[in-house]
Chains A and B, each alone.
Chain A
């Protein structure tokens, strides 16, 4: 049972570079989410998806893009990385909306 798999676990980016954080789930969940976690702050929602082909902005979407071409995959794209995007990123999925989340193990991103 893989659950929610995130890659990479760690990454250092230079300012202005771009990258894609990968997220895959094998539970056939419709709902998928991307959060960022900053020290002393609660998880903040970046983007979410309620099914393949459907995505929507969360609280802090600026500087990020997502796509959901399949039920399993929900990649997060960072364009023109900035130091403010230094954070820990978590992908999550659920079968029934905001209940019973399963989280990935997180990606620690540093932008220098």
Chain B
């Protein structure tokens, strides 16, 4: 079983829809990351959080430490949001990051 899992694996949405991507993990963590990988391959860090909620523009990330679960929400989705969204965790007492398999999002005009 992977230490970091994401759902759904693939997601297609109509422009304007509210989107939720889920991440669950099975290890103790010191931080959780959400990253975005565009079709060209570049990877950009969106959020790093260890508790609560963070918001940046139309993106919102939440984490529930007790349930070992995080969600990434996109409001008013747009075709330019089409990308692979990757959840990753920094394990407690471990100086490396474990990456989830990614969720491929396609937003259709």
Contacts and interface: CB of A to CB of B under 8 A. Distances in A.
B100 A98 contact: no
A34 B96 CA distance: 11
Interface stretch (A21-29, A65-73, A77-85, A103-111): A103-111
Interface string B65-101: 0000000000000000000001010110011111111
Interface residues of B, number: 27
- Counting contact residues on chain A (CB < 8 A from B), the size range is 20 to 34
Nearest to A98: B90
| Main SS at interface, chain B | strand
A103 B101 contact: no
Interface of A: 31, 33, 35, 40-45, 48, 50, 58, 88, 90, 97-103, 105-106, 108
9 nearest A-B residue pairs (beta carbon) = A42-B99, A98-B90, A103-B43, A43-B99, A106-B41, A98-B97, A42-B101, A97-B95, A105-B42
